[in-house]
Amino acid sequence: MAKKPLLAAMKKYRLDHVYPLHTPGHKGGRGADPDLRSLMGTKALEADVSLMEELDDIHHPEGCILDAERMAAALYGSDRCFLGVNGTTGLIHGMLLGSLLPGDKILVPRNSHRSVLGGLILAGLRPVYLMPDWDPEWRLLLQVTPEQVATALDADPDIRAVFLTTPNYFGLAADTEAIARVAHQHGALLLVDEAHGPHLGFSDRLPESAMECGADAAAQSTHKITGAMTQCSLLQVSYRRIRPESMEKAMSLVTTTSPNYLLMGSLDAARAQLAERGHEMAEESLHAAQILRNELKKIPQLPVLSDQLIGKGGVKAVDGGKVTILTGPLGLTGPEAADALRAEGIAVELVDEDHVLFLVTYADDREAFVRVAERIRQVLERNRRPERVLVPSEPYRTLPRQRMAPREAFFAPHHPVPFEEAEGRVCGESISFYPPGIPLIMPGEEIDGALLHFCRRMQERGLKVSGPRDVSLQQIEVIEE
């Protein structure tokens, strides 16, 4: 059985029955609200402990936290692993701060999560954007290709790093190994948002992991696919091209001084699970996903994504645990299909204009999941609208004109203007539809008419805006001129 040093230390501290004259204020649950105590249970609140000496210090680990981090690094083949309790967002911020210097240029695909924008602002980096290819049949952004990366690096030798999101939300994985090779040949780092890939590397039927492919750092949402609690992530770092002291300093800067031990303990447990049975867990995930995929394929003319996009637009592999359907042939938008499922007690991972994404993991490989899959098929068939034809529309795929760096724009004076009157102005905030949380425009970029039209169309189809101060988009913040 794999060791769990942090969990073991937490358990020992609880069993010692120490009287806590320290934080947290609820004192082992004794002062907690009754509803909270009923929801969480006494044992969980007793384990909500603070930074006691025997429980180590996440900023300068020397004991059980250091042991847990070393075991995670060994599992993923990195030189250093950091426990993250502020989601992969916080780890991406730390990764950018610890890898680069203010003013450095970084190559960023336009399908990157909004957390990257925060890192660009905090680190004072200058982004050079690439637009991934678009597949009109599946209506999905794909990946950037090694050739695109090479061309961009040849054109601008000052680029110090390449950022990559792989797999993306739909499980489409880039040719990370080839991109790593191109980046390193040009003297640039490869930094990876691997939020959707903490399970990669545990089955040859899954894409390879970022660290296996030669990435210099990878941030992983351990809570998304594997067994950690929500908000828990790991940052894997290779110190071949990154200075250890820079990364240590950056990660301490963005990490709370009061980390939640329940969260960190769940990271220790998730790592132990993967060490013991990672291959079995990966296969269970793929098996359960295939059950759902087979059931969905019984619906006539319903496109169900499997490996159709491999070899297109930089896509080298697909994570089979993500099950995506194209809802247009059902006569439904993505939100309409998701609402029908939710009304029947089924909540999905992602919805956009044209798709519904079901996230399947090892925890779904149960006999009961067969019945769930059948119910999903029945709901979709029952809500089908054969008389309605949806006309696909092109997405907003423009690379906006950059008029200010993200950090400069973030601190520049700005004010709201009516949304329809913003064309030609410099945006003072970001706009995205969540999920997947990919910004359409960022601070410092010029607003064009196509963006305004696209945002209104997305709202009409029931998608929710994320990012701006006014989520109704009656107004938008612009930079004062």
DSSP state at residue 475 = E
pLDDT band at 389 (very low <50, low <70, confident <90, very high): low
How many domains does the structure of the chain reveal? 3
pLDDT score for 390: 59
The pLDDT of residue 416 is above 90: yes
For residue range 150-193, list pLDDT tens digits in order: 999 999 999 999 999 999 999 999 999 999 999 999 999 999 99
**How many angstroms separate the CA atoms of 376 and 347, rounded?**
10
Q: For the stretch 415-434, what's the b/e string if a residue is b when 16 or more beta carbons lie within 10 angstroms of its beta carbon?
A: ebeebeebeebbbbbbbbbb
Q: Answer with the one of 382, 397, 419 that is the final residue of a domain.
A: 382
pLDDT band at 22 (very low <50, low <70, confident <90, very high): confident
User: What is the percent of the chain with per-residue pLDDT over 70, rounded to a whole number?
Assistant: 98
Q: Which two tokens stand for residue 478?
A: 């612009």
Q: Which of 382, 331, 332, 372 is nearest to 352 (CA)?
A: 332
pLDDT score for 443: 96
Q: Answer with the one of 253, 274, 295 that is the final residue of a domain.
A: 274
Residues 215 and 88 in one domain: yes
pLDDT score for 272: 98
CB atoms within 10 A of CB 456: 13
pLDDT score for 467: 84
Residues 366 and 241 in one domain: no
List strand residue ranges (DSSP E) for 93-209, in order: 105-109, 126-130, 134-135, 140-141, 159-165, 172-174, 189-193
pLDDT band at 143 (very low <50, low <70, confident <90, very high): very high
Residues 21 and 121 in one domain: yes
Residues 320 and 464 in one domain: no
Residues 86 and 199 in one domain: yes
pLDDT band at 436 (very low <50, low <70, confident <90, very high): confident
Q: Answer with the one of 382, 417, 444 that is the final residue of a domain.
A: 382
CB atoms within 10 A of CB 154: 11
Residues 171 and 70 in one domain: yes
Residues 191 and 332 in one domain: no
Q: In this structure, is residue 390 part of a structural domain?
A: no
pLDDT score for 388: 58
**How many angstroms separate the CA atoms of 228 and 144, rounded?**
30
Helices (H) then strands (E): counts for the chain: 15, 18
Sheet holding 189-193, edge to edge: 80-84, 233-237, 217-220, 189-193, 159-165, 105-109, 126-130
Q: In this structure, is residue 166 part of a structural domain?
A: yes
**DSSP-based three-state secondary structure for 452:** helix
The pLDDT of residue 307 is above 90: yes
CB atoms within 10 A of CB 481: 6
Q: In this structure, is residue 217 part of a structural domain?
A: yes
For residue range 186-216, list pLDDT tens digits in order: 999 999 999 999 999 999 999 999 999 999 9
Q: In this structure, is residue 400 part of a structural domain?
A: no
CATH of the domain at 415: 3.90.100.10
DSSP state at residue 456 = H
pLDDT score for 263: 96
**How many angstroms separate the CA atoms of 149 and 177, rounded?**
12
Q: In this structure, is residue 391 part of a structural domain?
A: no
Residues 110 and 222 in one domain: yes
The domain of 443 spans 406-479
pLDDT band at 391 (very low <50, low <70, confident <90, very high): low
CATH of the domain at 325: 3.90.1150.10
Residues 229 and 295 in one domain: no
Q: In this structure, is residue 392 part of a structural domain?
A: no
For residue range 257-275, list pLDDT tens digits in order: 999 999 999 999 999 999 9
Q: Which of 80, 92, 345 is nearest to 221 (CA)?
A: 92
Q: In this structure, is residue 388 part of a structural domain?
A: no
Residues 282 and 368 in one domain: yes
CATH of the domain at 143: 3.40.640.10
Report which residue type is found at 138.
W
Q: CB of 310 within 8 A of CB of 340?
A: no
Across all residues in the chain, what is the average pLDDT? 94
Residues 151 and 264 in one domain: yes
pLDDT score for 236: 98
DSSP state at residue 446 = B
Residues 220 and 101 in one domain: yes
pLDDT (average), residues 306-334 = 96
Q: In this structure, is residue 301 part of a structural domain?
A: yes
